Amino acid sequence: MGEGLFQPLHILLIVAIALLVFGTSKFSALGKGLGEGIRNFKSAMKEGEEPKKEEKLKEKEEEKKS
């Protein structure tokens, strides 16, 4: 197989141990929380881009008026 720490079998073993330690309910809650965090991060990144787009549109409109 490949070299390194994170081979597919190692990852599978880590996930199996995590399921045994935390149980399925906490494991699913962890996944849900992680997914929500990623969605919130993406939406925050998009909000940061919107003002820049609006500023560019305003600049173009002002150039057309001149």
In the chain, where are the structural domains located? 24-66
User: How confident is residue 24, by pLDDT bands cut at 50, 70 and 90?
Assistant: confident
**Is the pLDDT confidence value at 14 over 70?**
yes
**Is the pLDDT confidence value at 41 over 90?**
yes
pLDDT of residue 58: 74
Global model pTM greater than 0.85: no
Q: How far apart are CA 2 and CA 30, in angstroms?
A: 29
Three-state secondary structure of 23-59:
HHHHHHHHHHHHHHHHHHHHHHHHHHHHHHHHHHHHH
pLDDT of residue 13: 93
